[in-house]
Amino acid sequence: MKQPPFILLVEDSETQALQLAHALEGNDYHVEYVATGEHALELLNEKRPAVIIVDFYLPGMHGDEFCRQVRMNLRTRSIPLILLTGETGDGVERSGLDAGADAYLPKSTSIDVLVLRIAALVRLGVGSAAEIDGRQGDFRQARILVVDDSPTYLAFVESELESEGYQTTTAKDGHEALTKLDQAEFDCIVLDLEMPGLDGIELCEHLNKNRVQNDRQFGIVILTGHESEEDMVRGLAAGADDFVGKSNETLILKARIRALLRRNFLHAENQRIGEEMALRESELRRTRAERDLAEERARLTAGLEEVNHKLRDTQAQLVQAAKMTSLGQLTAGIAHEINNPLAYVINNAHTTQRELQRAIDAGAIGMSEEIKQHLLKALNRTQGMAEGLEKIKNLVLKLRSFSRLDKGEVYEADIHDTIESALTFLEHFIEGRVTINKSYCNDGVFQFAPDSLNQVFMNLIKNAVDAIDDRGQISIGTSRDDRYFQVSISNTGMGIPQEIRDRLFDPFFTTKPVGQGTGLGLSISYGIVEDHGGSLALADDDIGETKFIVRLPITPTKKVASCLN
């Protein structure tokens, strides 16, 4: 449910305040009223009214002074103000409007007109009765310390000042006054000139020294029952801000106190505004420095981005090369360890096969049929073992070729053997679901680095296998002319979308799920083929088929000899 707009009413007449509050609440407003401007300012520390209605003539701070203080504060300056008065005349209205009021209305104005003016100001205002958030309030009641050895006069002055809305504390002598000054902050100290112990002049000197040394802002007013020019000169010289005779009406004392408080308030407000402006200037300088630093970082980043990109590419290739070297060393060791016992087993298998055949031939006449069948079965098993061992021997030979520690060496070789070696290593990925179609030219012999290209063909064929979801075909074709040898590898997989084709050879770019691809295979393959003086490209074939074409120079360039050795 929406809360009604909050109206703050500042009116010292309780009867008029109740009548006006009742009328406004009947028009769906929430009203709170206080009797003095000082109390109203203190309330503004906690709540923000939609409109403030203030009487011109108030005890203590008048309505025009209240308007000035509200307008001078950053937190409250936008709150609409209506000034009420029982007097007529342009002077009062002009004084109120000049002080910052938004509207001036005689108290004789009808409630309907007042409600309409309030509604118009609420529309122009900055909110309803919301709690003031964030910072601590700036307004408070003025605190006054009264020092006099006469309990009767002390009580009288205390009553008069509290009726003005001031928070009043009393002390019976100078020593008690100094003790209370150490315990609390005061905005004004009113003291008698003649007191036992510390008299008014001595106390004034102590007070003035305290506010100078501690940078405190409070006014000092000396009261005397025997006015003389000599006493005034002594008091002002001791640090008093004003000198008032007790014989004068308290109106004079109240007016002098208001003037002192107003001056102190303006000084404090100017100091606060100056500190706030200095803080904003400091923040502005810091923001500018941060902006300049960010721009400089952006320039440095732009200059280093390309270098970092190349370093990352080089690092990735070095890591891959180190892995391949380690793999080659491990594979070479395993192949060597397998090769020795394998040769022994193969020789024994052939020997066993020959001996079984001789036994069968020698005992063919007198041998029973059952023994003969057992020997033939053993001979067949031995022949199968020999064939399996020959396949293992062939695989070990290819492992040894793949793991050569002189990788990158350029020599004359048959590129078809390199392709077949890659197919052998990938056979467990291919078997059962992918058909390999080969179309080789007659002559595949020329000078290249077989071990480096073996890695290229393994990457291309493995990618082709991964592109086929269930079953499909991979076609490998070769051709040559006087200058170049060409290898094409295509598959019947899902194809490559047009929008990512330009990024295929970028390092770390991959379309495979996380953990199934590093994004380096094609990038490294591209670099190897480029080092041969050739090219690796994706052909623009029909949708549904992906074809990579490797073109290699028949005669190796100086680049391949320097980069691959």
- Per-residue H/E/C for 469-538: CCCEEEEEEEEECCCEEEEEEEECCCCCCHHHHHHCCCCCCCCCCCCCCCCCHHHHHHHHHHHCCCEEEE
**Residue tagged 């679901």 (tokens):** 433
pLDDT at 487: 93
Nearest to 426, CA basis, from 404, 457, 448, 396: 457
How far is 186 from 179, CA to CA, in rounded Å?
12
Nearest to 101, CA basis, from 10, 20, 17: 10
How far is 432 from 435, CA to CA, in rounded Å?
8
Which residues have CB under 8 Å from 436's CB, separation 6+? 423, 430, 473, 474, 476
Residue 31 identity (one-letter amino acid)? V
Domain 406-564: state its class: alpha beta
Q: How is residue 58 annotated by DSSP?
A: -
Q: For residue 12, count other CB atoms closer than 10 A to its CB.
A: 18
What is the bridge-based pairing of β-strands 130-131 and 81-85? unpaired
Q: How many CA atoms lie within 13 A of 496 on its CB side?
A: 22
- Element of type H or E holding 372: helix 369-402
The DSSP-derived string for 298-365 is HHHHHHHHHHHHHHHHHHHHHHHHHHHHHHHHHHHHHHHHHHHHHHHHHHHHHHHHHHHHHHHHHTTT
Q: For residue 154, count other CB atoms closer than 10 A to its CB.
A: 19
Q: Report helix, strand and coil shares of the chain as percent, to nearest 5.
A: 55, 15, 30
Please, where in the chain does CATH 3.40.50.2300 lie?
6-131, 143-248
How far is 109 from 107, CA to CA, in rounded Å?
5
Residue 422: is it exposed, middle or buried by C-beta count within 10 angstroms (0-12/13-18/19+)?
Answer: buried
Please, where in the chain does CATH 3.30.565.10 lie?
406-564
How far is 494 from 543, CA to CA, in rounded Å?
8
| Beta-ladder partners of 439 | 477
How far is 137 from 94, CA to CA, in rounded Å?
30
pLDDT at 275: 78
Nearest to 66, CA basis, from 47, 81, 51: 81
Beta carbons of 427 and 391 less than 8 angstroms apart? no
How far is 320 from 326, CA to CA, in rounded Å?
10
Domain 143-248: state its class: alpha beta
Instruction: Specify the CATH superfamily of domain 6-131.
Output: Response regulator (3.40.50.2300)
How far is 382 from 295, CA to CA, in rounded Å?
79
pLDDT at 453: 87
The DSSP-derived string for 252-303 is HHHHHHHHHHHHHHHHHHHHHHHHHHHHHHHHHHHHHHHHHHHHHHHHHHHH
Nearest to 242, CA basis, from 220, 267, 266: 220
Q: For residue 507, count other CB atoms closer than 10 A to its CB.
A: 20
Own/partner pairs, 121-126, CB within 8 angstroms, 24+ separation: 121/50, 121/51, 121/80, 121/82, 122/5, 122/50, 122/51, 122/80, 124/80, 125/50, 125/51, 125/78, 125/79, 125/80, 126/78, 126/79
Nearest to 101, CA basis, from 148, 22, 164, 37: 37
Residues composing the chain: 565
How far is 493 from 498, CA to CA, in rounded Å?
15
Q: Report the C-alpha dihedral over residues 356, 359, 365, 369, rounded to 10 degrees.
A: -40
Give CA 546 to chain center in angstroms: 43
Give SS3 for 170: strand
How far is 264 from 219, CA to CA, in rounded Å?
8
Give CA 315 to chain center in angstroms: 31
Give CA 124 to chain center in angstroms: 37
Beta carbons of 492 and 472 less than 8 angstroms apart? yes
Q: What is the pLDDT along the chain (565 residues), one digit of tens a residue?
A: 678 889 999 998 899 899 999 989 988 899 999 998 888 988 888 888 989 999 988 887 888 888 888 887 777 878 888 888 877 666 666 776 777 788 778 888 888 878 877 877 776 554 443 434 444 455 677 899 999 998 998 999 898 888 888 889 999 999 999 999 999 989 899 999 888 888 889 999 999 899 888 888 888 988 887 777 788 888 888 888 888 888 766 777 887 787 777 777 767 767 777 777 888 888 888 888 888 888 888 888 777 877 777 777 667 666 666 665 665 566 666 766 776 677 777 777 778 878 888 877 776 666 777 887 888 888 888 887 877 777 777 667 666 655 554 445 788 889 998 898 888 878 877 877 888 999 999 999 998 888 788 888 888 888 888 888 888 889 999 999 989 999 999 888 777 777 776 667 666 556 555 445 555 667 778 888 888 889 888 886 555 578 889 999 988 765 554 444 4
Q: Within 214-249, where are the H helices? A: 229-238
**Residue tagged 């308030």 (tokens):** 265
Own/partner pairs, 20-29, CB within 8 angstroms, 24+ separation: 20/53, 20/111, 23/111, 23/114, 24/111, 24/114, 24/115, 24/118, 27/111, 27/115, 28/4, 29/4, 29/5, 29/118
Q: How many CA atoms lie within 13 A of 163 on its CB side?
A: 11
